[in-house]
Structure 1
Amino acid sequence: MTTRRGFLAGLVATGIAPQASWADIGNPAYLSAAKMRDGSYRLFGLAANGRALFSLPLQGRGHAAAAHPHRAEAVAFARRPGTFARVIDCASGQVLAEMHTPEGRHFMGHGVFTADGSLLLTPENDYEQGVGRIGIWDRAKGYRRVGEIASGGVGPHDILRLPGSDRFVVANGGIDPHPESGRTPLNLPTMRANLAVLDLNRGVTEITELDILLRLNSIRHLALRADGMVGFAMQWQGNGADAPPLLGLYRPGEASRLLQAPEALHRDMNNYAGSIAFSTDGRQIAISSPRGGMVQVFDAASGDFATHLDEPDVCGLNAGENGFVATAGSGRIIRYGAAGAIAVSEHAVAWDNHLVAL
């Protein structure tokens, strides 16, 4: 018997029906890239309970994806530093467009749509000039590049749209790599990360930096609460014996606040926070570390450390129904609550870095 999703996918593929919405394909809760056991790569749509609703091929290793706010459409980015992104119709599996960075640029693995879904914004590194850019791509024109603006710093990595607006917060990680050097930082003597707030008309309107003693703390990934509070996760590029905070909270117009677990647990993160997420109710915030094999949870109001959860090679992280959901390179998807793991599902894949909520 033909399923609703299969029927809709057929109509979309033939052009008979308008493009499907996320509800039309089963309301997936998350997107995640993964490596298959045969060495190929795919983009998965996952239900809230970790069940795979669809998987679609990618041309190489993915990092994160940008989900269109209304249509069942996702932009899957190559792992940084990469120069391609693939726009996929998640109902039909059709590749709608292939995006390629201009010469001298590379994607950083993330992107975000404007509120109406008409434009896609992509953090990029201009590696010849050593500055960050935000590429602007027009969906109606087949994801053609129509402009760019300054990111407000060096090495922009993640970008999120602030609630109820077309203002954006950018994690300028401070690292300036070059494709010929792979992922090796080229600017440690002058590195300085920041958070920048921008809009498309006025450009950068606010920049927030950490204390100069923390200038080697690369601000990498962002999480957003419904009231506009931003969480940011960091990766230390300095001496391994140091153990600076890896988690911060920030609200535009205010100073940032840094959070840290008790000393022993904090050092177990190995100076690396891979992903970050607020809980659904916004009361807690968590960071993951694949290098430390750990998720740490904090109270978002007080900043107090709440609990930690051990999970080898864990990185993907987002809000779940009763806490958080995490993915690991082992193929496990773990739903966490205050008392620990609620449920675990196993998949024959290696989940990549991020779990993107829809």
Structure 2
Amino acid sequence: MTDRRHFLTGLLAASACPRPTWAEAGAPSFLSAARAADGRYLLCGLRASGEVAFALPLPDRGHAAAAHPEQPLAVGFARRPGRFAVVLDCVTGQEIARLDAPEGRHFYGHGAFSPDGAHLFTSENDYDAARGVIGVWSLGSGKRLTEFHSGGVGPHDIKLMPDGQTLVVANGGIETHPDAGRTKLNIPLMEPNLSFLGLDGSLLDQQELDRALHKNSIRHLAVAPNGTVGFAMQWQGDLSDDPPLLGLTRNGGTPMLVTPPTTDAKRMKGYAGSVALLADHKEVCITSPLGGLAQVFDTDSGVLKRSFDMVDVCGVAATAQGFVLTSGRGDIAHETQGWTTPHAVQWDNHLVPI
């Protein structure tokens, strides 16, 4: 971090003054990275109605974000293999600090706060050793405290479980190296898994796919209040196959894998971009920008309940009435309420709940 950490220390330190809340940042429900029409990169706060609450600059293309659980602070992450994560005050618009990945590491575009917001956990690549790590950052001191093994290769998304003591990590299984850009180096040897880790890095549970599905990269996660985990996958094998693109599980459980109907599977081309779960955990939604399709499944049976067509759809987040979706064409839509709001930006891959 830079010297701007002193500002962040002041924001996070205990004080007699009332702390700002997300309401003072325009009461956003979600965060999303975006590219403006003039080429600038942004981190935006979005209301559940589709309005933009704020738009703050990022130094380069963003991927996902992490929202502080109490204060209007957001961390915008670089798209893999980026090395920056920007801490933003969403009320003032001030860049509070930058977290720079240490030598030999890069971020994977995702992170998660501890329950009290004092620590940030980041998914990273130890690229010379070809292993995933989770970086642990103290926002109060502005220091990187430690790191621990992610439980696999290519950790992408990371979420805090409802118990506040466990992280779930999507180890995609794909080896990459900055010298090779975004080239995938180990497709024949992939071993994706879901790892449930204690906040100290202890491995509590690890769930792997059957060997026949080892090319199914586990990429993105959603967690319901009851501990149900939804995970979206991206197939790295022959596209003549129709692999499952959605999984549902729990810590200590056995994954249930869901395959889209054949016609939809051909459209989706083995690619699920994001996933979201309703708070009552009864429905789960995955998106496919390649197929221009969002699908909503029953979480108990895995049966497809409804679909929503939307060009280049990727971001998805849950509301009390269903799912909000964003697209690379700038649209925000609600799949059950029937409204679509256009914006003069390109929304990036993810819609992050606050």
Indicate the TM-score class for this superposition, using the shorter chain for normalisation: over 0.9
Relative contact order (C-alpha < 8 Å, sep 6+): which is higher?
2
Shift of 1:201: 2.9
Partner of residue 73, structure 1: 73
Partner of residue 145, structure 2: 146
Partner of residue 112, structure 1: 112
1:296-338, CA deviations, whole angstroms, 9 ceiling, x for partnerless residues? Answer: 110011111111111110000010231100000111000111x
How many Å separate the matches in 2 of 1:262 and 1:240? 15
Partner of residue 3, structure 2: none
Partner of residue 128, structure 2: 128
Shift of 1:204: 1.4
Partner of residue 173, structure 1: 172
Q: SS at the partner of 1:109?
A: strand
Please tell me whether the aligned partners of residues 196 and 208 of structure 1 are also in contact (alpha carbons under 8 angstroms): yes
Q: SS at the partner of 1:140?
A: coil
Aligned length: 342
Partner of residue 53, structure 2: 53
Shift of 1:27: 2.1
Q: SS at the partner of 1:196?
A: strand
Please tell me whether the aligned partners of residues 280 and 323 of structure 1 are also in contact (alpha carbons under 8 angstroms): no
Percent identity for Structure 1 against Structure 2: 51
How many Å separate the matches in 1 of 2:78 and 2:243? 29
| Cα 1:203/1:314, change in 2 over 3 Å | same
How many Å separate the matches in 1 of 2:341 and 2:16? 37
Q: Which amino acid aligns with 2:146?
A: G
Unaligned runs of at least 5 residues, structure 2: 1-10
1:129-167, CA deviations, whole angstroms, 9 ceiling, x for partnerless residues? Answer: 00000000001012x211001100000001101103221
How many Å separate the matches in 1 of 2:327 and 2:164? 33
Please tell me whether the aligned partners of residues 113 and 119 of structure 1 are also in contact (alpha carbons under 8 angstroms): yes
1:354 maps onto 2:353 in alignment? no
Partner of residue 196, structure 1: 195
Partner of residue 325, structure 1: 324
1:77-105, CA deviations, whole angstroms, 9 ceiling, x for partnerless residues? Answer: 00111111100010111111111111111
The answer to which of 348-357 and 185-194 deviates more is 185-194
Unaligned runs of at least 5 residues, structure 1: 1-10
Please tell me whether the aligned partners of residues 150 and 204 of structure 1 are also in contact (alpha carbons under 8 angstroms): no
Partner of residue 186, structure 2: 187
1:157-181, CA deviations, whole angstroms, 9 ceiling, x for partnerless residues? Answer: 0110110322110000001111111
Partner of residue 62, structure 1: 62
How many Å separate the matches in 2 of 1:87 and 1:18? 21
Partner of residue 298, structure 1: 297
Partner of residue 7, structure 1: none
Shift of 1:23: 2.4
How many Å separate the matches in 1 of 2:18 and 2:121? 24
Please tell me whether the aligned partners of residues 19 and 72 of structure 1 are also in contact (alpha carbons under 8 angstroms): no
Q: Which amino acid aligns with 1:226?
A: P
Moved runs in structure 1, 4+ residues, more than 6 A?
none
Scaled by the length of structure 2, the TM-score of the pair is 0.94
1:214 maps onto 2:213 in alignment? yes
1:110-138, CA deviations, whole angstroms, 9 ceiling, x for partnerless residues? Answer: 00001111110001011100000000000
Q: SS at the partner of 1:71?
A: coil
Shift of 1:17: 5.6
How many Å separate the matches in 2 of 1:305 and 1:336? 14
1:308-347 correspondence runs (5 A): 308-337=307-336, 342-347=338-343
Please tell me whether the aligned partners of residues 245 and 260 of structure 2 are also in contact (alpha carbons under 8 angstroms): no
Q: Which amino acid aligns with 2:328?
A: G
Q: SS at the partner of 2:285?
A: strand
Shift of 1:281: 3.0
Shift of 1:254: 1.1
Q: Which amino acid aligns with 2:141?
A: K
Please tell me whether the aligned partners of residues 25 and 91 of structure 1 are also in contact (alpha carbons under 8 angstroms): yes
